[in-house]
Structures are given as C-alpha cells and as structure tokens.
Amino acid sequence: MMIRLENVSKWYLNDGKQSEPVLYELNLTIPDRQFVCILGPSGCGKTTLLNLVAGFITPSRGHVFFDDAPIEGPGPERGVVFQDANLFPWLTVRKNVEFALRLRGVDHNAMRDTAGKYLDLVGMASHKNAFPHTLSGGMRQRTAISRALALEPKALLMDEPFSSLDANAREHLQDELLKIWQHQQRTLIYITHSVEEAAYLADRVIVMGPSPQNIRGDMLLQSVRPRKRSSEEMRNATAELRAALDSLPCCV
C-alpha cells in the first residue's frame, strides 16, 4: 500500500485561533500504480489533502504514510505538478527540468540526456531554451509535467493542472498524460473539480465534500482505455459522479 492517510485532521491557525477543521478524521489508502482522481467542489480540502501527501504541510492530527514510512517533508519521490505551472521564471525550460537532476549530482551529459528525454516526452524539446514567460499556459504546464517526471518519482501529485487551460488544450494534455501514465505506470493523484475529467482519466474517483465527513464517495471505474469521451459508458460514469457531487452543499 503506497499512500495511506490515517485519521488525518487538519485545521489552520488564524490569528492564533484554530479554524474549523478542513479535513476531519480522514482515512484513505491508495495502492501502487492507481490513477486516482479527487473530485469535489472548491474549499473542501482537496488541495490540503494533496499538500499533506506532498509533505508541504503536516497533519494537525493523524498520520500520513508513503510506502509505510511517515511523510516528514517534500521529496523527489513524490513529484508535484502545481495548478499554475510554477516554473522558475529565471531559468529556461531545459534548466527548469535540470534543476532537480543537478541537485542529485547527475553528471553533465546524463543530465542533458534525461532532461531532453522528458522534454521530448511532453513535446517541449523544441522550446528548451525559452524562458517560461514566453510560453503559453499549456506549454508551461507541459514543462511542469516533464520537470516532475524527470524526478522519476514513485508518485505523481497533480493539483488541477489543466484547469486554467482552454478546453481544447485541456483534452489534448489529458490524452498525453494518459499516454505517459500508461507508458510508465506510477501512482497518480489528480485533483479536479471537473466531473468529465475525472470520468475520463481515473481508475478510481474519490468524491470529497466539506468536513466533518470529507469522503463522500469512492468509485472504481472499470472501463478500459482508451476511453471515448462521448461513449455510453462515459456518460453513465459522468452522471453517477455528478449525482454524488450534487448531493453536496456548495462550499464556497
């Protein structure tokens, strides 16, 4: 069992006072190589959950385990793709991807090769010398994915990575992400508020709602890939997820 959250509660401090818990007594286990979508309205703790697994924050109560070891902080075995690509603006595309490799002390040529390989994988090889601000949102997000992949992480954590892209670019990148994931399967947690996205991508969809009961649904999607966006199966899955979401109060 790869990622395990045990009785995790999380609240934040505002002016020294505890807020209402964002997550309350949450239990969740994600096995190896599963593609999990976390679906829910905004404000119900999806990002908090991801940040806990990434190690950016620590639980107020409870424990988070990765490969049976407690998570003590962020690390390259858990690659994160942030909502706003979040590349370093002072580095070129290639240098952004090489950043982590350099830290690992990979020698110069191997570093070039690895960065080149992962940039190629996301179709960014021809832009490797561009600075991030000259790229479109989709290109930045591709680079961010290749940066996370270059870590060769055991798990990939993605926080609404395509939500700021236009519909066309989003579908395109979803397909590429699936291709990459099928090519080298690793555990993938993917946060989204889009029912269609969850139904199209995931092996398993976790529907989240506001605490105290954060997990409102846990669905396995059995349909084989490649899935067709307009198929009957897709429509049924979407309808089912939407029904689960509609029963939730709006968190905003």
**Rule CB under 8 A: which residues touch other proteins?**
54-56, 73-76, 78-80, 82, 84, 86, 88-90, 99-100, 103-104, 131, 133, 147, 151
The neighbouring-strand residues paired with 5 are: 28, 64
3-state helix vs strand vs coil in the chain, percent to 5: 35, 25, 40
| CB closer to other proteins, 5 vs 155 | 155
CA 192, distance to chain mean position in Å, is 9
| CB closer to other proteins, 26 vs 80 | 80
Residue 85 burial by CB count (10 A; 0-12/13-18/19+): exposed, middle or buried?
Answer: buried
Closest distance of CB 106 from other proteins, Å: 12
Closest distance of CB 240 from other proteins, Å: 34
Closest distance of CB 187 from other proteins, Å: 15
Closest distance of CB 133 from other proteins, Å: 4
Residue type at 59 in one-letter notation: P
User: Measured between alpha carbons, how far apart are the two ends of the chain, in Å?
Assistant: 34
Closest distance of CB 90 from other proteins, Å: 4
| CB closer to other proteins, 65 vs 131 | 131
Instruction: Outline where DSSP puts E strands in the chain.
Output: 3-10, 13-14, 17-18, 23-30, 35-39, 61-66, 69-70, 78-81, 155-159, 187-192, 204-208, 215-220
| CB closer to other proteins, 133 vs 183 | 133
| CB closer to other proteins, 74 vs 123 | 74
